[in-house]
């Protein structure tokens, strides 16, 4: 099939390259000329494992190309995927201005039947709204609109797409259903066919549920600390129950990223707009907003409230490992608090430092973990990068001025930390204190 993907962010780029890799001819369109000129040369704007190789391979094999010219890309397309951003407005609603601009351009340039699919996460009702815009601009209805929400995770985006657990297809015609079912056949996955509104709702419900699991386990973690239980064991004990499942029960400093914070908020607004008070998700957000500061509290506790002049090595800045994405990363809130208290913060992240410097004022970064921890009064782990998990903890201890490790991601074993003589505070577990 010929596919035109509009928007080359995570979703556009990853779905574009994956659809081309399974044999389709894909043209990716963006209004950002610099991005497109780089992509043509194989320069990828984001850090995502495996993406560069796959882009280069598919460009070379003539299945993948990049352009800023929507009209030409549309001409040949059977399927058009809209994958532009839907950032939050100040009131939390999804901002649809990029989607609106794209729908208008599609309408102006539409010639011949196409299935126009929204991959971006959009409020319920957007599919119908897009249809109206295109009809008005095109002056005809020889097209179908559809919804095909995206479920990939940053950091494992290629794997998630190639091994998708389901494809959700929201359609209002048999023709669109046929085209999109055919398109997803090579993924050999569960296909959920629904009406467009239901497909749009599935995306928000899925993200809100995952966010709920995280805030739930974080609240359990907070109780664990008060009653002397270990949340990692609690999660393990819960997770073997298939009705609960093991995933997304890692307690820590809460969720960040471009989607959970935005989509929970958007869902609350979708509900409010139809007169419904979405209490559970509101609490999920409240818990999440507080959770990231628990790591700050634990740093304060380790130094009896006095951080002035303390050298603190922060390991990890991105909102999760394997990405340079800083959107809504806990580090954005935690580091300024430490700086306000007069601490000397030295941060290291394997890939997110350049982006972090744009987000966090006066952020001092160094190019290796060794430089960050040398002579530090404490190490604070904010992102669970594997390279931190693999640290030689005995060696780390030698580099520190004081063996204090505050772990927002529960990366290390309590007994090992106790044996090594660390003051080790984590989330939802007892504090190992040998100072």
Ligand X SMILES: O=C(O)[C@H]1O[C@H](OP(=O)(O)OP(=O)(O)OC[C@H]2O[C@@H](n3ccc(=O)[nH]c3=O)[C@H](O)[C@@H]2O)[C@H](O)[C@@H](O)[C@@H]1O
Ligand Y SMILES: NC(=O)C1=CN([C@@H]2O[C@H](COP(=O)(O)OP(=O)(O)OC[C@H]3O[C@@H](n4cnc5c(N)ncnc54)[C@H](O)[C@@H]3O)[C@@H](O)[C@H]2O)C=CC1
The residues assigned a catalytic role are 259
Which residue from 15, 58, 86, 148 is in contact with ligand Y, where contact means CB under 6 A? 86
345 binds, among ligand Y, ligand X, none (CB under 5 to 8 A by kind): none
Which residue from 48, 144, 150, 225 is in contact with ligand X, where contact means CB under 6 A? 150
Which residue from 5, 7, 65, 96 is in contact with ligand Y, where contact means CB under 6 A? 7
Dihedral of alpha carbons 77, 156, 237, 404, sign: negative
3-state secondary structure of 409: coil
Residue among 153 and 166 whose Cβ is closer to ligand X: 153
DSSP 112: S
Which residue from 248, 272, 374, 399 is in contact with ligand X, where contact means CB under 6 A? 248
Report the C-alpha gap between 269 and 53 in whole angstroms: 40
CA distances from 158 to 10, 19, 73, 155, 300 (A): 10, 11, 24, 8, 40
The residue written with tokens 């596919």 in the block is: 3
Which residue from 20, 58, 65, 207 is in contact with ligand X, where contact means CB under 6 A? 207
User: Using CB under 6 A, which of the segments 58-66, 146-154, 385-393, 422-430 binds ligand X?
Assistant: 146-154
Other beta carbons within 10 Å of 389:
12
Cβ pair 119, 82 in contact under 8 A: yes
Q: Does 266 bind ligand X (CB under 6 A)?
A: no
Which residue from 4, 5, 10, 260 is in contact with ligand Y, where contact means CB under 6 A? 10
CA distances from 383 to 155, 158, 228, 344, 370 (A): 13, 21, 25, 19, 16
Residues 340 to 399 in contact with ligand X, rule: CB under 6 A: none
Q: Does 154 bind ligand X (CB under 6 A)?
A: yes
Total number of residues that touch ligand Y (CB under 6 A): 26
Residues 250 to 269 in contact with ligand Y, rule: CB under 6 A: 258-259
Residue among 32 and 93 whose Cβ is closer to ligand Y: 32
Q: Does 408 bind ligand X (CB under 6 A)?
A: no
256 binds, among ligand Y, ligand X, none (CB under 5 to 8 A by kind): ligand X
3-state secondary structure of 147: strand
Report the C-alpha gap between 130 and 168 in whole angstroms: 19
Residue among 42 and 45 whose Cβ is closer to ligand X: 45
The enclosing H or E element of 82 equals strand 79-82
379 phi and psi angles, rounded to 5 deg: -110, 135
Binding region for ligand X (CB under 6 A): 121, 150-154, 207, 210, 214, 248-250, 252, 255-260, 319-320
């Amino acid at each position: 099939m010929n596919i035109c993907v509009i928007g080359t962010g995570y979703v556009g780029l990853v779905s574009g390259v994956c659809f081309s890799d399974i044999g389709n001819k894909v043209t990716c369109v963006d209004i950002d000329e610099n991005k497109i000129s780089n992509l043509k040369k194989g320069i990828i704007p984001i850090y995502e494992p495996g993406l560069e190789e796959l882009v280069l391979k598919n460009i070379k094999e003539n299945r993948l190309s990049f352009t800023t010219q929507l009209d030409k890309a549309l001409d040949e397309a059977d399927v058009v995927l809209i994958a532009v951003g839907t950032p939050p407005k100040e009131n939390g609603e999804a901002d649809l201005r990029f989607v609106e601009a794209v729908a208008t351009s599609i309408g102006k340039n539409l010639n011949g039947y196409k299935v126009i699919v929204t991959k971006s996460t959009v409020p319920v009702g957007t599919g119908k709204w897009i249809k109206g815009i295109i009809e008005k601009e095109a002056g005809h209805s020889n097209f179908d609109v559809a919804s095909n929400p995206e479920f990939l995770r940053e950091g494992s985006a290629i794997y998630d797409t190639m091994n998708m657990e389901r494809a959700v297809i929201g359609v209002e015609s048999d023709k669109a259903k046929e085209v999109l079912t055919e398109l997803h056949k090579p993924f050999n996955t569960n296909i959920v066919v629904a009406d467009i509104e239901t497909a749009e709702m599935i995306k928000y419900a899925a993200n809100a549920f995952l966010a709920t699991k995280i805030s739930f386990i974080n609240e359990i973690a907070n109780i664990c600390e008060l009653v002397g239980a270990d949340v990692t064991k609690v999660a393990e004990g819960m997770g073997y129950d298939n009705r609960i499942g093991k995933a997304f029960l890692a307690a820590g400093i809460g969720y960040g990223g471009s989607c959970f914070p935005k989509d929970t908020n958007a869902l609350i607004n979708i509900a409010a707009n139809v007169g419904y008070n979405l209490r559970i998700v509101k609490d999920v957000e409240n818990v999440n907003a507080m959770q990231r500061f628990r790591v700050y509290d634990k740093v304060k506790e380790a130094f009896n409230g006095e951080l002035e002049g303390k050298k603190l090595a922060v390991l990890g800045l991105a909102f999760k490992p394997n990405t340079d994405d800083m959107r809504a990363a806990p580090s954005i809130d935690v580091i300024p608090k430490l700086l306000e208290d007069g601490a000397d913060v030295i941060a290291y992240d394997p890939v997110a430092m350049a982006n972090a410097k744009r987000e966090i004022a006066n952020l001092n970064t160094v190019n290796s973990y060794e430089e960050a921890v040398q002579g530090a009064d404490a190490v604070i782990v904010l992102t669970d990068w594997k390279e931190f998990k693999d640290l030689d903890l005995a060696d780390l201890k030698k580099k520190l001025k004081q063996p204090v490790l505050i772990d927002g991601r529960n990366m290390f074993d309590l007994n090992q930390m106790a044996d090594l003589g660390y003051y080790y505070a984590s989330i939802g577990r007892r504090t190992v204190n040998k100072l």
